[in-house]
């Protein structure tokens, strides 16, 4: 069903095993996700946190671009304006605050122990290029998942959620079984030493892993039920949520730029949610009209 993007399989398609297709799709989507996420960790020491946040979270824009070319989405001004407002909100948070935040691969952020903004990163151009590639690939990953690994339109939400979590499990299995291979090579060559976490660090990593697993599963479900663009903008909400949690834990008040940028992202998300709902409703009505026309045509043929 996922391979053919048809709700009802033909007799010939029913005899084709879905395993090779799912394996190829898992490898392709996971590699795009891994390179995109890994670019954040490579670029974090090469560029400034403001550039990191602003460039990486432009993945919402690239998700829309790829949706137009790969998914056949129509250019809609309400969506374009919503994405533009969301990116503007990210820019306000990134560049309007004296204590900028790192934009994480999940769309969120945290304050980094780095030099002030006026101390330029030594390899800023290289870092910006790397994170730019990561931003493009993250947008591509979202659209590839929607195109290659989501059930067709008309599938029940329950089945869509189950399949989204199934594919998320396949991504985790591929990561566990294959993507660990570079780690010992990097360690023994001295390019990137690794060590087992202990104590408080291990506990924090466990919490982070569980939180990210919850986020990733929910993210895949949201993309399956709606669109990559809406999901990407929804992920930007974590920037404001992280700032609120940081305020609750540390007691440091939110800056004006953080509040303004966060409100812009929230408004963009609400606008895009409404635009997506309208688009999905229009498509539903169109399908119902087409099905009704086909039913009438079949009745006319029977009468003849």
The domain segmentation of the chain, as residue ranges, is 11-192+210-303
Average pLDDT over residues 287-296: 68
Of the pLDDT bands very low, low, confident and very high (cuts 50, 70, 90), residue 296 is low
Name the region of 203 (left: φ>0; alpha: ψ -120 to 50; beta: rest). alpha
Within 10 angstroms of residue 135's Cβ, the number of other Cβ atoms is 24
Helix H or strand E encompassing 110: strand 109-111
Q: How many angstroms separate the CA atoms of 106 and 212, rounded? A: 8
Q: How many angstroms separate the CA atoms of 33 and 31, rounded? A: 5
Q: How many angstroms separate the CA atoms of 248 and 75, rounded? A: 40
Are 54 and 86 in contact by the 8 Å Cβ rule? The answer is no
Nearest to 101 by CA among 242, 272, 207, 253: 242
pLDDT tens, position by position, 120-154:
545 788 888 999 999 999 999 999 999 988 887 77
Percent of the chain at pLDDT > 70 equals 82
Are 261 and 96 in contact by the 8 Å Cβ rule? The answer is yes
Q: How many angstroms separate the CA atoms of 251 and 275, rounded? A: 37
The secondary structure of residue 198, as a DSSP letter, is -
Is the pLDDT at 19 greater than 70? The verdict is yes
- Three-class secondary structure of residue 74 per DSSP: coil
Q: How many angstroms separate the CA atoms of 69 and 204, rounded? A: 40
> 45-49, 260-264, 281-285: which has the highest mean pLDDT?
260-264
Average pLDDT over residues 239-254: 83
Q: How far is CA 241 from CA 58, 265, 287, in A?
A: 18, 11, 38
Is the pLDDT at 288 greater than 90? The verdict is no
Q: How far is CA 74 from CA 79, 124, 187, 205, 301, in A?
A: 10, 36, 47, 41, 35
Average pLDDT over residues 38-46: 85
Average pLDDT over residues 88-96: 86
Q: How many angstroms separate the CA atoms of 304 and 298, rounded? A: 10
């Amino acid at each position: 069903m996922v391979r053919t993007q048809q709700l009802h399989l033909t007799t010939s398609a029913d005899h084709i095993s879905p395993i090779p297709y799912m394996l190829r799709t898992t490898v392709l989507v996971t590699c795009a996700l891994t390179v995109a996420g890994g670019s954040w960790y490579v670029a974090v020491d090469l560029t400034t946190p403001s550039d990191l946040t602003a460039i990486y979270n432009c993945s919402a824009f690239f998700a829309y671009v790829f949706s137009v070319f790969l998914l056949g989405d129509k250019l809609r001004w309400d969506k374009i304006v919503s994405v533009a407002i969301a990116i503007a909100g990210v820019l306000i948070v990134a560049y309007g605050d004296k204590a900028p935040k790192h934009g994480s691969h999940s769309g969120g952020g945290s304050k980094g122990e780095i030099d002030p903004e006026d101390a330029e990163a030594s390899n800023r151009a290289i870092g910006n290029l790397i994170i730019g590639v990561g931003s493009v690939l993250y947008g591509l990953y979202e659209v590839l998942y929607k195109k290659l690994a989501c059930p067709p339109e008309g599938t029940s939400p329950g089945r869509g959620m189950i399949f989204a979590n199934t594919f998320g499990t396949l991504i985790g299995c591929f990561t566990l079984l294959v993507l660990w291979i570079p780690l010992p090579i990097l360690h023994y060559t001295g390019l990137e030493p690794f060590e087992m976490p202990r104590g408080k660090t291990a506990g924090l990593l466990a919490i982070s892993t569980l939180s990210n697993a919850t986020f990733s599963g929910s993210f895949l479900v949201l993309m399956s039920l709606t669109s990559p663009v809406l999901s990407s903008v929804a992920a930007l909400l974590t920037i404001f949520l992280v700032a609120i949690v940081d305020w609750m834990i540390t007691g440091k008040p939110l800056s004006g730029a953080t509040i303004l940028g966060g409100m812009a992202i929230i408004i963009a998300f609400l606008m895009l949610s409404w635009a997506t709902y309208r688009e999905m409703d229009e498509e539903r009505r169109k399908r119902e009209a087409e099905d009704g026309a086909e039913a009438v045509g079949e009745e006319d043929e029977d009468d003849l």
